[in-house]
Structure 1
Amino acid sequence: MFEMRGGEQAMAVDPATMAPDGHVVFIGHIASPWKSRETCPKNMRAAREAGRPAAALVDAPFRPGLAGLEGADHVVLLSWLHHAPRNLIVQKPRHAPEAKGVFALRSPARPNPIGLHVVRLLSLDMAAGRLELEAIDVLDGTPLIDIKPYYASADAPAGPEHTQA
């Protein structure tokens, strides 16, 4: 379980106990080399630097949705960070001097623990529903919510003012 740090604030109600207002289904899962939070990279840059490939595995009913993705160099994966706490609304990152609201952070701990990953697609086996990835920054078995093609011409912001660590 997560231990709260100084300056952190939990919500009075855990969002995991609230009635859902949407019906999200998992379309598969991610096979990653990371088995624990301690070994999992904190972001995609660190995951790429680790040089450990991964895969997104799409369940059979959703595999027809992969048609047309063959030419993609990169894809955007949306995942459900199922081990993350959902009740922290203000967090104190280890590397930051002060606490920040969850929406100012990339932390997995959030009311809806949705992960956003722009990943390099190495290969695609549509029949098997397997997308080979250069790297990923999630734990093995993380549920997959969606896959979208990444188009640098439309998705990448212009200018150096948009780069952050």
Structure 2
Amino acid sequence: MALVPIGEIHSPYKRLEDIPGQGRLSQEICEIDVFPEYAFGLKDIEQCSYLFILLWMHLGDRRRLMATPPISHKEHGVFATRSPGRPNPIALDIVELLDVKGNRLTVRGMDALDGTILLDIKPYSPEMDCINYM
């Protein structure tokens, strides 16, 4: 299996301790540069209000199987958390799309370190992706 980076994240977060606990709570503006060879894949993306962004958390400890989330006081298996330390350090952010200029997306709601590798972009659809609990 081989993953291909398709772009890079530019954020105000230069150090791990700068990153907010939840990107959705941040008002910081970030930019996503899609590499030129993948820019055609952005056609019609401006029709999306929100996007799923898949990232490679390159500083995550891939040996970790346990983590203690900030809102919990006990240890959990990493698959029951959103910890960056995990066997495959893939992150999923839901961001608000603010602007598209060429191969650059301007977004809000991301919690990625500056220079983080972009793996994929998918449209977020409230009708399909929001689970309503009864």
TM range (shorter): over 0.9
Partner of 1:41: 20
- TM-score, normalised by the number of residues in structure 2: 0.94
2:48 equivalent to 1:72:
yes
Partner of 1:105: 81
1:56-83 residue CA offsets vs partner (Å, 9 max, x unmatched):
1100000000012121101110000001
CA distance in 2, matches of 1:93, 1:43: 11
Cα gap change, 1:94 to 1:66, in 2 (>3 Å): closer
2:120 equivalent to 1:146:
yes
Cα deviation, residue 96, structure 1: 1.9
Identity %: 37
1:116 is matched by which residue type in structure 2?
A: L
- How many residue pairs get aligned? The number is 134
Find the structure with the greater CA-based Rg.
1
CA distance in 2, matches of 1:152, 1:46: 18
Contact 2:8 2:117 in 1 (8 A): yes
Partner of 2:57: 81
2:39 aligned counterpart, secondary structure: helix
CA distance in 2, matches of 1:31, 1:87: 27
Cα deviation, residue 91, structure 1: 1.8
Instruction: Please list every run of at least 4 consecutive aligned residues from structure 1 whose deviation after the TM superposition is greater than 6 angstroms.
Output: none
CA distance in 2, matches of 1:120, 1:31: 15
Provide the alpha-carbon RMSD of the alignment.
Answer: 1.3
Between Structure 1 and Structure 2, the one with more strand by share is 2
Q: How does 1:1-165 map to 2 (within 5 A)?
A: 22-47=1-26, 51-125=27-101, 127=102, 129-159=103-133
1:142 is matched by which residue type in structure 2?
A: T
1:70 aligned counterpart, secondary structure: helix
2:18 aligned counterpart, secondary structure: coil
Contact 2:13 2:114 in 1 (8 A): yes
Gapped runs of 5+ residues in structure 1?
1-21
